[in-house]
């Protein structure tokens, strides 16, 4: 999604040319997914523990 938004500006900002490379986009997607999981995991674990019948 960032590719669609930012790549049209590559003529004005040369550092945006990095979005042309598929390897960069794959790594960026993996890092983004890791950060989202890292931030949301504690909340999800707490909610699942609240819903669990095993610990009751």
Distances (CA, A) of 4 to 7, 9, 16, 46: 6, 10, 11, 36
Residues 40-52: pLDDT tens digits?
999 999 998 888 8
Report pLDDT for 12: 85
Euclidean distance between CA atoms 56 and 52, whole angstroms: 8
Q: What is the mean pLDDT of the chain?
A: 85
Domain boundaries in the chain?
A: 2-51
Task: List, for residues 9-42, the tens digit of each pLDDT value.
Answer: 878 888 888 878 889 889 999 999 999 999 999 9
State if pTM tops 0.75: no
């Amino acid at each position: 999604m960032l590719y669609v938004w930012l790549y049209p500006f590559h003529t004005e900002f040369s550092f945006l040319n990095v979005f042309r490379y598929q390897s960069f986009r794959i790594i960026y997607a993996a890092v983004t997914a890791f950060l989202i999981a890292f931030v949301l995991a504690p909340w999800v674990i707490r909610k699942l523990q609240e819903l669990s019948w095993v610990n009751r």
